[in-house]
Structure 1
Amino acid sequence: MTLQSWVPVPAGSHFPVQNLPYGVFEPSGGGAARVGVAIGEHVLDLAAALGDEVFARPSLNAFMAQGRERWHEVRARVVELLTVEANRPEVEPALHRAADVRLLLPFEVADYVDFYSSEHHAANIGRMFRPDSEPLTPNWKHLPIGYHGRAGTVVVSGTPVVRPSGQRKPPQADAPSFGPSQRLDIEAEVGFVVGTGSELGTSVGVADFAEHVFGVCLVNDWSARDIQAWEYVPLGPFLGKSFATSVSPWVVPLEALEDARVAPPERAPEPLPYLRDGEQDWGLDLAMEVRLNGHLVSRPPFASMYWTPAQQLAHMTVNGASLRTGDFYASGTVSGPEPEQRGSLIELSWGGREPIELPGGGTRSFLEDGDEISISATAPGAEGTTIGFGEVVGRILPG
């Protein structure tokens, strides 16, 4: 028998009681920001429902720092409160209509790392920019490539994105010029939020992934391709990425994704020992959708990612780099093997040479002012349910 909540959950809702993603909200009519979980079309105020002041704060960090045992304990108690009818009189006053609350950035970002872990995305980029060379760089199948991003510009879904300016130098130009990006792009990604830290000088193994990572959200890693192309040699992305990274307001706990775990693709050559999966299959069967001005343009499959989040965490710490509560890392652009599964506009339009056709006769190669991008995702949940991540949305404003 499928577990049911006494809170009304519409058919097809992405927030059944088997999900219970965490977020931070401001109640309608004002009031201090606090932690809640989504259930159907409502948000449960955890400070009020559980009588615990750790949830009467404007971020998840204090709760996440309490560790995996506490995460499990709270989740079990919330499930009990929302499924046992006898709890209804006590808990119902702590419910808010989701349409009436304001959702905020769910956690304070300590550090931000972005990876490059889709073989299909990396190969597409290689074919576009290195047509006479191998699509993948020699190191790509030996380690999860990444770069350190800017934590201070991680913003919650709905925050407008101002078109960035910077230096640009087209191949045919003699010298660089300065101005607003003309090749503004998206990257559909999945993010992982660290709950408990680690000591400097130690590493976190693949098997310890679930001891440290609290949950999963959606990411749009906005990218100014023209700025990036001129600056990235020899040290990689900088101003072409650092102006904004958008995240969804809901963080789905790892415990809700047990039924979404899948084996990753076969790897050849075999990774070094610290990157081997062993018994830890942390591929995730997430079905993503990307919409441009409401029009579906891509369905990237996260299960196709070559490097898993557990391997990314292991690589990120193998040199002894410490973790902190609120550290955040993203998967890199999620792209599948088919053209309609590409997670960036530069791939979908093949560098601008094959513009995307939109309803009404319009086309896009890169983003124009006023364009809105939304990214959503679902995963299989317990008892045949569907786990949703909400969506991450951003609209482009003129530079």
Structure 2
Amino acid sequence: MFCSKCGANLGEDVKFCPKCGAPVGPVSATPAPADAPGAAASAPTTVHPKRRAPFVIIAVAAVVVVAIAAFVVTHLLGGNPKEAAGANGMGNSVTNIAFGDGQAVSAGGMDYFFDDNGLECAKVNDPGSVKQICSISSGTYVGMLNYADGYLFYAGYDSNADSYDIKSVKADGSDGKTLYSLDTDHNYFPCLYIVDGRIYIVYQAYQNKTDSLHIVSMATDGSDVRNELDLDMSCASGHCVALSGDRVYYSDDEADDGTSGGSSVYSMKIDGSDTKRIFSSDGGSVRGITVVGDRVLVAAHDRSGSAYSYYVASMNADGSDAKKITDVSDDEIDIVGANNDTVYLSDGDSCFAVPAAGGDETDLGLPDSFQYGAYLIGADDHVIVSNGSLSGGLAYNVGSMKGDGSSYVEYFSES
């Protein structure tokens, strides 16, 4: 069976195309339920220290240093001192959404992940601490997991309701609710990002032979919904899009002059302005996009007649300093994760790490339980390894290891 959208070869009982995210089989035009905003989370209390002479100058200097550090971590690195990688969604969301369908996220010393038991969590590298947060009903596909301010956010597809739902739940499993719903008629599974305290829902639609890219944002309690972008395009891959900071990176099959002949990657602001092309394949397609630090990573292939060559390209956000960081190969090469300044790649037989700016490859030597595929979700000092995806269902193995593939511990294994 082949995907009617991008032509990818599909396995049995697949609900979503593993390459483009398009739903497989007929979809219903039943409208989705109305938005159901929940209650806003309470704002943290700020404690002001008392002034005590004669240490006023020292105290003020310390406050300034802490403030500068907090600003750098929160606004430039995408986190906060207590919750690091998970806060603000900057480190995790780009990786999760582009690859692995957001089956896991790490924040505040905890790893959160989907498996056959539902949404679970564990203390980092502590398999004995695994516990369930909430169950996932049969027939529901979930992903795009993200974290902010003590809440987990994810998208789900309920085959019985024919809707994509953006859901939230506290990290302790309480206060679960639906924040936003999108009908499945002509729409593809939405990406979910959290940037500067707001949820961004990025999705594509196909109607009347025209593709379009849409961005909707809202507060983390589901209120203040804003329509950020509606853009006509001819993108061939449902999840070839990444959001980082105030910019969106996406692939489009149509050239500036309206002709086709290979996919390109464009960068633009969230409001659709300042659009520029930063990458073009040679007669081939873009297979994935992610952002690692200040580098944009593109998995693509070029085509010459019936021959294909696969590779991963790395470039600055404006497209400069572009380079291929893998050897051109006859085998498909995909990005399966990222962590700090490292990107993780798979050629179908093995996973290996490469610096985002290019350099030597490190074979990760994953356990045999991941021989049929793995996604690596980056955290500060480790990666979560999962073989779950929207197209293949919930994970039957989940674990944690260091970025070089060592010190593997297993959180979940299907019995």
Same fold, TM exceeding 0.5?
no
Higher fraction of helix: 1
Higher fraction of strand: 2
TM (norm. structure 1) is 0.24
